[in-house]
Structure 1
């Protein structure tokens, strides 16, 4: 069993599934000097600026409502213990554990790539989701402002887009989002897994506190931005009891729509989350994983379309029923996220070597 690391969701370094060599830690006493404080031993965040080759990712999954997404960052400092995107760091020969939340990449050419993509003659307009793989408003965004600059491109071209985040930093961009909302070009979803600050701090250590997310939701709603709530992920015997409370608090804060996703444990996420359970809720760890496997046909994860987001079996049916009843009682829009206007799009002008004369 690992030990909790302050401010981090992972309890240690886990090799990726493609790793050819695996380092082994050995304590030689070098860091045992008396003059060193605890902060000196904590893993620090490292940011690498990179030039991406493409920026719009496309999918045809029947489980999700969008076909295009943009991720300005790789890795995520929020450190959510359950994050389904952790295995993507394996492609970089980095650990899906601590590396995923401490070794981050910022796509500094994201704006120019987006403009180029939208300017292509054959481009077909479809809402783009910002930050679906890693949070577009993670702490790094406060300094880099890549997400804000991407939104400025959407505003310039009147391109519809959606946002989903766990960070109240989104309030910073209300000056951009409110006018776009008035044109039917944007929808925002705040992901809230619990109203319990202590549980939230363990599950997602560097995301905004639940109350801060609710305040951001209220600010968005008051400014006319359509906002929804995502209870994601629903984790058996860890946060599932908070479902109705989260939906009710979100409705009071102005959310008009709601959704949920069951815990997903692809690839390295399964052993990482097992370790998290043993570290933080050892009394329930076996029961949680037993239920997860009942939901996934006896495995830690089932990637099949149609079941990967909801699971199967008695527990899955009960959770779906609870969500439906709560949504109906609270008056959430049962048709799902609002439709965005794709008719306003104006392709960006390609940069001219002579510059802008008029």
Structure 2
């Protein structure tokens, strides 16, 4: 059923594998929404829309698939969970505009907390502050995505997302509310947002906002994302297309040398500003009750 660009779909399974190409620490995720109105050109979740019979480009940005039964299914699947950390919001921002209507996240947080599951919420949206108390009580992490602080770049590649300044203020608000807050510095865009002064400005402002750590991820271009991003690149920066072809492999991963250089620069900046850098150490929790691992 479609409602103003929201398409309700009953999910059979909600805890799903995170593609390795995603670059985040967690291997499993739950996403109340698929697709994202933030319309980030480099979003690695775009291919998921193809499996729903939608396209990975404009449909991903405008046809948001809602899973109204996500809490019910999540509780059932967590009854067999082994305590491995879960990411929330990988298939689409879990606090995008659809959440204002459907309010699925309080139930998701409650289900994860009741099961004793460790989890990290990924978002760009200030709506997460609504649930700050729930997140703090659950011992959850929130990872706010801030890849760069240049508004010209943000308007070009994240046209529906809040400004970098708004997200920096969000980090401060979450820290003040007692929520452990990291910054997912993703995606760093080759030849567009990777200059030394750009990286330094971004890390400096993240540190000033009070983030506990930075998790850098260089742009990934898996199928679905690759076509949409490169189409934009050909229009906006045609001189860079050949360099991108040299930089990325067929799986959509950047060359190890380039990625290592960029993440190394960011790690050095983080040390300078007294922040942690890199993926958090996985700390599986004991399940709330005797359970079997999900296979």
Q: TM-score, normalised by structure 2?
A: 0.88
Please name the residue that 1:157 is paired with. 115
| Structure 2 stretches lacking a partner, 5+ long | none
Please name the residue that 2:251 is paired with. 302
Q: Say if 2:271 is the partner of 1:322.
A: no
Structure showing greater radius of gyration is 1
Deviation at 1:322, TM superposition (A): 1.2
2:85–2:282 CA contact under 8 A, matched in 1? no
Matches within 5 A, 1:1-358: 46-58=5-17, 61=20, 64-120=24-80, 123-181=81-139, 186-241=140-195, 242-279=198-235, 281=236, 284-287=237-240, 289-296=241-248, 299=249, 301-303=250-252, 308=253, 311-313=255-257, 315-334=258-277, 336-337=279-280, 339-340=282-283, 342-343=285-286, 345-346=288-289
Greater share of helix: 2
Which structure has more RCO (C-alpha within 8 Å, separation ≥ 6)?
2
Offset from partner CA, 1:316-336 (integer Å, 9 cap, x none): 343133112112211222474
Aligned counterparts of 1:104 and 1:173: Cα–Cα separation in 2: 22
Aligned counterparts of 2:4 and 2:89: Cα–Cα separation in 1: 19
Deviation at 1:338, TM superposition (A): 5.3
Aligned counterparts of 1:153 and 1:138: Cα–Cα separation in 2: 20
Cα root mean square deviation, aligned: 2.4
Q: Aligned pair in 2 of structure 1 residues 140, 325: CA closer, same or farther (>3 Å)?
A: same
Q: TM-score, normalised by structure 1?
A: 0.73
| Structure 1 stretches lacking a partner, 5+ long | 1-43, 349-358
Deviation at 1:285, TM superposition (A): 2.8
Deviation at 1:141, TM superposition (A): 1.0
2:216–2:277 CA contact under 8 A, matched in 1? no
Deviation at 1:342, TM superposition (A): 0.9
1:68–1:129 CA contact under 8 A, matched in 2? yes
